[in-house]
Structure 1
Amino acid sequence: MTDMAHDQLVWVEIPATDLNRAKAFYESVLEISLIENDDGPQKMHMIPSKGDSMCGHLYEGKPATSGDGPTPHFSTRSKLDDAMERIQAAGGEVVSEPIPLPAAAFFYAKDTEGNSIAIFKFND
């Protein structure tokens, strides 16, 4: 049962008490532009992915207790040290040193809303 024909994780919803602050944080840290969407019952900021797809969104809501809850891992093309600097400059908090894996490394952080996130970098 380990062969998978499709991705298991397809979407992430990240709550924010201050949607504009969270948008600025993720745009800075991920080095992307989020896409505003007013189609649903509340405003969202969509997180773009490969091609024309999206991998999630920010929405106005109550985050889990600081650092608790799920931890989405976002990839970066830059060095992890650079990503750590962007996290801090954007008002977030780095909570671990880089953790090496055979094919990559990542670190844990908190966004401006207290959500747990990780930044993941594949080895070059």
Structure 2
Amino acid sequence: MSDFNSERNRVVWVDVPVQDLDRALAFYRAVLANNATKQEYPGGEFGLLDHENGNGGCLVKNAGEASTTAGLLVYFNADGRIRDAVAQAEQLGAKIVEPVNSIGPHGYRAVLIDSEGNKIALHSNSDQ
């Protein structure tokens, strides 16, 4: 994900909640003509949409709630200013769901409920 942040890209990533990862992988591979792959991490697995030539996303197992109620999690670019962006959001009425935290080699993110009730993520390559 970190390779795709730039001043021109406002949306840099999307998490698609799924109930059945294998079924979702088959669906998105066919519909998007995409070589989505299953990836493992400590505590689970996800489907990574091929994003070699652009912004990307992943299929996230969401066993706790129906995918239609969870919705997509869109990551907005806050590169180099994520802590300031979170502070500004909070001052403007956002509820912080996850404070700024590392997402490994993919940088940092914060998840919040915006002023209109939408769940969004902010992304940065650095913890600044």
Q: TM-score, normalised by structure 2?
A: 0.43
Q: Which has the higher strand share?
A: 2
Q: TM-score, normalised by structure 1?
A: 0.44
Q: Which has the higher helix share?
A: 2
